[in-house]
Amino acid sequence: MKSSRLNHLLAMGFLCLFLAAAAMAQVKTETKTSHGKAAVETKIERGEVVTVSGNDLVVKMDDGQIRHFPNVPESAKITVDGQQLSVHDLKPGMKLERATTTSSTPQTITTVKTVTGTIWHVSPPTMVTLTLDDGSNQEFKIPKGQKFNVNGQELDAFGLKKGMKISATKVVEEPVNVITQNRQVTGEMPPPPPPPTEQIQGPLLVESQAKQPVQTAQAQPEPAGELPKTASELPLIGLIGILVLFAGVVVFAVSSRNV
């Protein structure tokens, strides 16, 4: 019984020593990320589909520029009249609009690295070798201005000695900018073609009008002894009547004298 209790106590003691060594010789790294206010920018691009060949798309932009989009992925979808279309469903003349939303979020990644262990070797001011919990030795670079906590006191690299149990903390802050983009493409069908106009079947003949010569009236010479065609015949009849009447008066006068 006494031997069993002694072995139990020895096992507990070794466990405590192991835990103590692990607590004194280990490397801990903790990382935290803080987020700033995101900046959001939206860019609108408009164009008209020129040609589609397989997964290659050619679009004429509003500014007149011709842009080639090679190898458009199958996963890219265009919303047209509430339907999700792929690049193979696009037709020349379709109007496209792409809205690209870019979100830029500043972040600060803070890394806290804590090292504890027993000094095996020190090469001030740049290197120190510590014995870790598994019994192995690991070499560490000493950052410029690094301080070490030794029994509640802060020492620099020149104050370190072999066998000292030390603890050191290194804080690194790294600013990064996380950029995310979201693209949404919408479109509309091209207008319907105009109705076909009525066409005349067969060959079309156009009659050519011969140009007629212009005739001009020429004045004809008037025959001698004839009245102008524009004069009336009534004066001639009146003249004959007067002559007959005059002749009758003369005959009557002559007859009266003979009697």
**Inside any domain, residue 137:** no
Domain around 63: 40-104+181-188
**Inside any domain, residue 161:** no
What local confidence, expressed as pLDDT, does residue 56 receive?
93
How does the average pLDDT of the chain come out, rounded?
A: 77
Beta bridge partners of 178: 105
Rounded Cα distance between 164 and 121, Å, is 10
pLDDT above 70 (res 27): yes
End-to-end CA distance of the chain: 223
Q: Higher pLDDT residue, 7 or 83?
A: 83
Scanning the structure block, which residue is given the tokens 């000695």? 161
What local confidence, expressed as pLDDT, does residue 18 receive?
41
Domain CATH code at residue 54? 2.40.50
pLDDT above 90 (res 254): no
**Inside any domain, residue 229:** no
pLDDT in tens, 118-177: 899 999 989 989 887 778 888 888 888 888 888 888 888 899 999 988 877 878 889 999
| Helix residue ranges, H only, 25-168 | none
Rounded Cα distance between 101 and 223, Å, is 107
User: Are 42 and 52 contacting, i.e. CB atoms less than 8 angstroms apart?
Assistant: no
**Inside any domain, residue 9:** no
**Inside any domain, residue 61:** yes
Phi and psi at residue 240, to the nearest 5°: -60, -40
Beta bridge partners of 59: 49, 67
Query: pTM score > 0.85 for this model?
Result: no
**Inside any domain, residue 164:** no
Task: Name the token pair of 141.
Answer: 């670079």
- 242-250 CB contacts, 8 Å cutoff, 24+ apart: none
User: Are 56 and 132 contacting, i.e. CB atoms less than 8 angstroms apart?
Assistant: no
Our measurement of the distance from residue 182's CA atom to the centroid of its chain's CA atoms, rounded to an integer in Å, reads 12
What local confidence, expressed as pLDDT, does residue 23 receive?
40
What local confidence, expressed as pLDDT, does residue 103 receive?
93
**Average pLDDT of the segment spanning 179-195:** 83
The structural domain count of the chain equals 1
**Inside any domain, residue 14:** no
**Inside any domain, residue 225:** no
